[in-house]
Structure 1
Amino acid sequence: MRRVLKINEWFHPDGFPISVERRDPQEHFEAHAHEFAELVVVTGGKCLHVTGSDSWELTAGDVFVISGHREHEYRDLVDLRLVNILYQPNRLKMGLFDLPSVAGYHALFTLEPSRNIRQPTKGRLHLTAKELAQVIELADRLDTELKAREPGFGFMATATFMQVIGYLSRCYGRNPSPDGRAVLRIGEALSHLERNIHRDVDLDELASIANMSRRSFLRVFQSATGTSPLAWVIEQRINRACSLLRQTDRRVTEIAFDVGFNDSNYFTRQFRKVTGISPREYRMRQGSA
């Protein structure tokens, strides 16, 4: 039977959506999935990391993100030491300000967690000794805030977590491995789409940004994200519309145009396709929650 780690078992009873788990050393842990995402930083030792039919060696400096639905385990452990930062993506605004414009952010936090397990694994992030020391320092600060839980800890912990996200995103972009460059190029295409979310999708332009032919770009994008560029853009627009429906009392038609749709009827159809309900139903449910 598949083991799934539950939120209520690994997060504080107050419901805060970030937790730090240190493993020094990591003992054997059976294959499992999570109800949350896991950012893993290898601080020492080595092991074989297994996800589905894929496996690769982990050593100090390796960093990866596992999304909740992916099962994984560690085998052949040799003094393996980890810092695991557990977080609930649906409760955190990860892509704040200009972070989505950083290609490394999309490579590590959008593409890697959903990456097809049949794809090569050599593209994952590996930190230098200096970079690893910086990440460990930030993780220590995050852990301290979460343990002390002094007034304002939620703000301080979230700010520190975002520093970790931003720093790792920069690291991914600075030193991509040969295989990682393909992931990074798709990340650059996603960053371009984020910056131009109101524009029509230009496949030739995206392929040029990714330095691929149009056909290769579509194939790699679909494999990396599980969807097409147009469907990805529509989902991002719908996510933005959901935020506006929750946080403002603006008319649905106005919101549709604001997030990049030129036809309010088309917006409503796409909204229902993504969420299962109409924009007005969504607003009513949020208002009564």
Structure 2
Amino acid sequence: MTLTELTLSGSRLAQVADYPAGSSYGPRRLPDFELVWLLTGSARLTLVPRAACVEAVDYTLLPGDLAVARSGDRDHYAWDPRVPSRHAYLHFTVDALGSLPDPSRWPAMRKFSDLPLLEALCDYLLALAADGSESAWHRSTQVLHWLVDLYVTGPLPHDPMAGLPAPVHVALEKVRDIWTRDGLRLIHVQELASDAHVSTAHLHRVFRASLGVGPARCLELVRLWQAATALQRSNATVSEVGALCGYPDRFHFSRRFRSLYGMSPREVRYQSGALDFAGPLRRAGLLGLAQRLLAPIRPSL
């Protein structure tokens, strides 16, 4: 992170602007930097960078988009021709870039869906603006530092499911759906293969080729990881934890658990040290995928 080296000043509290359908704003030459995020409606943003040799570029902004115009840029907004538009904005100056790249290399737009933390920070800036106090102004400046740093450099998380073969991707999305609905129950490979419209043998082959393990082993590593965590962070019995993670037979659960962690579920429960339950997943390169499978599926707006 470059946050400790980045220095911003002249920032003001975030503001909200409304525009009638079909209206426009600009062109204007920006004396400072401006962050803009759409709340309702849409806009066509035309940016002419300050470098004379660079041509104008058009961007379509929708709710969920965050854009930055840099000092010296010329911008022009054409607002949604059908409905009123509302956007939030905030101006700032950059006194020291730290390790950030030159602003000419900053992305002109990010999507909140790429990094949901950006949306949370923007929401917080609006909440601070509603407060309007001196302390809110100072906190707003702190939040702006985080926002600019993350906007420019990320980290934009790598999607662990990106680039996987279609049958594997479909099967894993099916796993997410089932585990969200039913909990960490055992899922037979035949069920996943049927959903992916391939044979069980083919699904096993593409799983091993892309992830290094077969589907049954992949999902078992996740279930046992969650079982180990539950044993140390709940008062549920060993049988209850096993059933929660797809092992209704306590003895089968204990055997599978010991084969992975080298100790019984009961022994893990009384370990006082910090055990790396995610170690098997990390060594297999599957920890990011496991976290994705366990993440809640948020409803689309």
Same fold, TM-score > 0.5, yes or no:
no
Q: TM-score, normalised by structure 1?
A: 0.39
Q: Please identify the structure whose Cα radius of gyration is greater.
A: 2
Please identify which structure carries the higher helix content: 1
